[in-house]
Chain A
């Protein structure tokens, strides 16, 4: 999928553990792990809002659109 999730990068920048984020956002660590791997089907605005609030970042810092290369097309 061309959407890349940079949650692990933001967590490293904020020196925060996934468990800590999970407690602050109110989303289970399993769900955050799946999100980190980019395997979720969809993300709610409320979840994105909570993550951005805790990590003090913008949605674009967490989600990135990567165009497909010619070989992938």
Chain B
């Protein structure tokens, strides 16, 4: 199923490229499209570490970023989990970009590599009846498809949390 999604995304990319080049779209349309794309990319690159723009990056209407959302319940209070996650992120490959202790929000970023511009990880906690709920959202810097990077970030964070619960 995972590879089917990747294959479909690749096919879509090839078809789009063929469509643009073969049907020789109007130059102005292409220029505007390129300008908008580059501007958005630069905007995202500059403001990716701002927790204040969480709504913009994680919005379902933002079609230029791919997102992966998930929730997990922990039987530990939100206050403790908030501090725990900060500790976990500081000991991992992710970089802590910002925190808001009043609503237990955390923003971490993954580093830029040859295969990715990096992703932003938005994590926040809400106290629940038996502990807390961790809400996780991994967002690509710029890209409509994440090639599984977002899901990998989630599983990486979960593994790191699990490992850190052995003291």
Interface, chain A (partner B; CB < 8 A): 27-28, 30-35, 37, 39-44, 47
* Chain B residues within an 8 Å CB radius of A30: 80, 83-84, 87
Q: Is B167 in contact with chain A by the CB < 8 A criterion?
A: yes
Contact A34 B80, CB 8 Å, known A28-B87, A39-B75: yes
Closest to B166 in A: A42
Known: A33-B80, A37-B76, A39-B76. A44 touches B166 (CB 8 A): yes
Q: Which residue of B lies closest to A51 (CB)?
A: B167
Interface size on B, residues (CB 8 A): 11
Q: Which of B47-75 contact A (CB under 8 A)?
A: 75
Main secondary structure of the interface of B (DSSP, over half): helix
Q: Closest residue of chain B to A25, judged by CB?
A: B167
Give, as a whole number of angstroms, the nearest-CB distance from A23 to chain B. Answer: 15
Q: Does A34 contact B76, Cβ atoms closer than 8 Å?
A: yes
- Interface membership of chain B positions 74-94, coded 1 if the CB is closer than 8 angstroms to chain A and 0 otherwise: 011000100110010000000
Cα-based distance from A59 to B31 in the complex (angstroms):
71
Cα–Cα, bound, A37→B167 (Å):
13
Cα–Cα, bound, A50→B118 (Å): 40
Kindly identify which residue among A28, A33, A43 contacts B166, using a CB–CB cutoff of 8 Å.
A43
Q: Complex: how many Å from CA A35 to CA B80?
A: 11
23 A-B contact pairs sorted by A residue (CB < 8 Å): A27-B167, A30-B80, A30-B84, A30-B87, A31-B84, A31-B164, A31-B167, A34-B76, A34-B80, A34-B84, A34-B165, A34-B167, A35-B167, A37-B76, A37-B80, A39-B75, A40-B165, A40-B166, A40-B167, A42-B165, A42-B166, A43-B166, A43-B167
Query: A41, B166: Cβ atoms under 8 Å?
Result: yes
* Shortest distance between the CB of B10 and any CB in chain A (Å): 40
In the assembled complex, how far is the CB of residue A36 from the closest CB belonging to chain B, in whole angstroms?
A: 10
Bound-complex Cα distance A27 to B87 (A): 12
How many angstroms from the CA of A40 to the CA of B164 in the assembled complex? 9
Residues on the B chain within 8 Å of A43, using CB: 166-167
Contact with A along B121-138 (1 / 0, CB 8 A): 000000000000000000
A35 to B167, CA, bound (A): 8
In the complex, B27 has a CB within 8 A of chain A: no
Contact for B165 among A32, A41, A47, CB less than 8 A = A41
